[in-house]
């Protein structure tokens, strides 16, 4: 492996560690550790939210999915982009306002404060939900890091996972939310550079070599050259709907994303953040889709043992070492930026939602920060164990976690924001219905027919409405 690439990646890791150490030197409250104390600029939060939301899923999972599925993979991007834009335009500023109104640091704490009569039950249920699925989501990022380091450096995947977890723990442990957001910003720029530069270089390579994307799609396996995947009728409806169904998880239910909304300082910063986030999303998903299509063209007749390593292969094959090193850092950036945010969500669920609010233990700010840092280390090590023992693909693991968390809590947030008759019992029913239905659905053949990303959302939404009508909060019946 070229020494330039290795040197750039090592330098990148050292810079991240140094930033974490720098922010860790500053004394901080528990609010600072979990939410930055509402002192961060909106544009940095937008970069952080976008990098956190996409991760290894976009650079490895989605590009590999396009390579395997062809043109029909566009509907995944369509659903996700609409979901992201909707969240920023209609929910972000509402999250900011509600966080200030109720003085909360996490999404579960907001629901508990908003529906105080059932607050403790809501805290416990939402924490179990988040911890259960988020740990697997976190482990998927670590598995993606091991896969990337193996592809690039032929490092044993287990060692690659250990290195990645060490970086994530250092960043989260030292500076908390502030260091995570600022390093996210740097990593978000690297991710975007990878997704914009690589497809441009690939297109130049294709046309200078006299190749054709349309011909490559036509001669590839059946269905790759069709926007509908080569299917018709009911099967077409299911394909389009299942791919589009990622949309439902973006409607406020992902705690690692909603934390960025809650951290916004004011309406002006929120407006700036919206613009940055929307532009980033359009460029990133357009680039990722093109990477998958150009890979089909460049690697005609070539089979990959794992399609989720297509992007690293392209970087190494098409770019000079100095640029390859920077863009490969973008892949690790995508992984680290999501993993550290997920680790903070897990940490907040334990230290803030359970210890401080549910158990009501009287701990000082310093003790709470120490507890949070302890959870960071324990959670990071548990995620490492799960990553080493799981054989699931990044795409599938993220898909299931997206359903279990995002598509369960999104109905709860939408109903809490926009329906006055939503009740505490309704929140409990939403969480239980979403949690149970996700586990049942993904464990059955039904997942192959229609995605749990939709069924979880629909079942949780119906349960929330039904039980709110049956068991209204007393103070809201007048």
pTM, 2 dp: 0.85
Helix axes 42-56, 321-348, angle to 10 degrees: 100
Cα–Cα distances in Å, from 29 out to 36, 191, 365?
9, 31, 6
Distance between CA 433 and CA 354 in Å, rounded? 21
Cα 95 from Cα 25, distance rounded (Å) = 30
Q: What is the number of alpha carbons within 13 Å of residue 434 lying toward its C-beta?
A: 37
pLDDT of residue 478: 36
**8 Å CB contact between 216 and 52:** no
Q: How far apart (Å, rounded) are the C-alpha atoms in residues 301 and 394? A: 24
Q: Tell me what pLDDT residue 151 has.
A: 67
CATH architecture of 3-392: Up-down Bundle (1.20)
Hunting for tokens 């990044």 — which residue is that? 394
What is residue 419's predicted lDDT score, i.e. its pLDDT?
95
pLDDT of residue 436: 93
Domain ranges of the chain: 3-392
Which pLDDT value is given to residue 14? 79
- Spatial separation of the C-alpha atoms in residues 50 and 281, rounded to whole Å: 7
d(C-alpha 147, C-alpha 60), whole Å: 9
Q: What is the DSSP string of 5-55?
A: HHHHHHHHHHHHHHHHHHHHTS---HHHHHHGGG-S-HHHHHHHHHHHHHH
Residue 477, pLDDT score: 41
What distance in Å separates the CA atoms of residue 106 and residue 111, rounded to the nearest whole number? 9
User: Would you write out the chain's pLDDT as a tens digit for each of its 478 residues?
Assistant: 457 777 777 787 777 777 767 766 667 777 888 888 788 899 999 999 998 888 767 888 899 999 999 999 999 999 999 999 999 999 999 999 999 999 998 999 999 999 988 989 999 999 889 888 888 778 877 877 777 777 666 778 888 888 888 888 887 887 788 888 888 888 788 889 889 999 999 999 999 989 999 999 988 888 888 888 777 777 778 777 888 888 888 899 989 899 999 999 999 999 999 999 999 999 999 999 999 999 999 998 777 877 878 888 898 889 888 888 777 776 776 677 778 888 888 888 888 888 888 888 888 888 888 898 898 899 889 888 888 876 554 555 666 777 889 899 999 999 999 999 999 999 999 999 999 999 888 888 888 788 888 999 999 999 999 999 999 987 644 3
User: Which tokens is 208 given?
Assistant: 């200078």
Q: Which pairs with CB-CB distance under 8 Å and at least 24 residues apart come from 361-366?
A: 365/29, 365/30
Q: Is residue 17 within 8 Å of residue 168, measured between CB atoms?
A: no
Q: Which two tokens stand for residue 318?
A: 């098409």
In this structure, what are the phi and psi dihedrals at residue 362, rounded to the nearest 5 degrees?
Answer: -90, 90
Using only C-alpha atoms, the chain has a radius of gyration, in whole angstroms, of: 22
């Amino acid at each position: 492996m070229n020494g330039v690439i290795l040197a750039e990646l090592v330098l990148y890791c050292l810079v991240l560690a140094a930033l974490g150490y720098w922010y860790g030197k500053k004394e901080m409250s528990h609010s600072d550790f979990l939410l930055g104390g509402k002192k961060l600029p909106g544009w940095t939060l937008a970069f952080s939210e976008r990098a956190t939301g996409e991760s290894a899923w976009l650079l490895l999972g989605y590009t590999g999915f396009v390579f395997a599925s062809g043109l029909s993979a566009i509907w995944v991007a369509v659903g996700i982009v609409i979901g992201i834009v909707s969240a920023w335009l209609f929910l972000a500023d509402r999250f900011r306002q509600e966080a200030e109104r109720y003085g909360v640091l996490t999404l579960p704490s907001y629901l508990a404060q908003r529906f105080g009569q059932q607050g403790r039950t809501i805290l416990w249920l939402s924490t179990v939900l988040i911890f259960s699925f988020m740990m697997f989501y976190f482990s998927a990022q670590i598995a993606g890091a091991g896969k990337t380091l193996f592809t690039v450096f032929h490092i044993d995947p287990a060692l690659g996972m250990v290195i990645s977890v060490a970086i994530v723990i250092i960043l989260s442990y030292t500076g908390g939310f502030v260091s995570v957001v600022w390093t996210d910003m740097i990593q978000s720029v690297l991710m975007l550079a990878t997704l914009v530069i690589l497809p441009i270089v690939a297109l130049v390579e294709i046309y200078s070599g006299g190749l054709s994307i349309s011909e490559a799609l036509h001669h590839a396996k059946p269905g790759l050259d069709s926007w509908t995947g080569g299917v018709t009728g009911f099967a077409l409806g299911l394909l389009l709907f299942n791919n589009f169904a990622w949309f439902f998880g973006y409607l406020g239910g992902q705690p690692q994303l909603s934390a960025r909304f809650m951290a916004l300082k004011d309406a002006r910063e929120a407006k700036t953040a919206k613009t940055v986030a929307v532009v980033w999303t359009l460029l990133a998903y357009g680039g990722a889709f093109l990477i998958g299509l150009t890979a089909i063209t460049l690697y005609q007749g070539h089979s990959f043992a794992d399609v989720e390593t297509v992007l690293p292969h392209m970087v190494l094959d098409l770019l000079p070492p100095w640029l390859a090193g920077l863009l490969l850092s973008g892949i690790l950036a995508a992984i680290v930026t999501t993993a550290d945010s997920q680790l903070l969500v897990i940490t907040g669920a334990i230290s803030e939602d359970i210890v401080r609010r549910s158990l009501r233990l009287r701990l000082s700010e310093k003790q709470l920060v120490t507890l949070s840092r302890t959870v960071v280390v324990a959670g990071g090590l548990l995620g490492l164990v799960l990553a080493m023992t799981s054989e699931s693909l990044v795409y599938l693991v993220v898909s299931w976690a997206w359903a279990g968390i995002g598509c369960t809590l999104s109905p709860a947030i939408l109903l809490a924001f926009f329906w006055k008759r939503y009740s505490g019992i309704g929140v409990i029913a939403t969480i239980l219905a979403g949690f149970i239905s996700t586990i049942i659905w993904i464990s059955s053949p039904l997942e192959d027919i229609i995605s749990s990303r939709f069924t979880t959302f629909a079942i949780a939404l119906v349960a929330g409405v039904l039980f709110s009508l049956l068991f209204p909060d007393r103070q809201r019946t007048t």
